[in-house]
Amino acid sequence: MEGQDKKKRTGTVVGELKSRKAAPNKINVIVEILGAGEEKARQYRVGYDPKVKGPIPDVPKAVKAANIGDRVEIDWVEGEGYNITKFQVLKKTDKKDDK
Whether 70 and 62 have beta carbons less than 8 Å apart is answered as no
Q: State which amino acid sits at residue 38.
A: E
For residue 96, with 0-12 CB atoms within 10 Å meaning exposed, 13-18 middle and 19 or more buried, which class applies? exposed
Tell me what pLDDT residue 6 has: 64
- pLDDT, tens digit (0-9, with 9 covering 90-100), for 5-64: 567 899 999 999 999 999 888 888 999 999 989 999 999 999 989 999 888 989 999 999
- Structural contact between residues 84 and 48, judged by C-beta atoms closer than 8 angstroms: no
Please tell me the distance from the alpha carbon of residue 7 to that of residue 85, in angstroms, as a whole number. Answer: 16
Query: For residue 6, what are the contacts with CB-CB under 8 A and spacing of at least 6?
Result: none
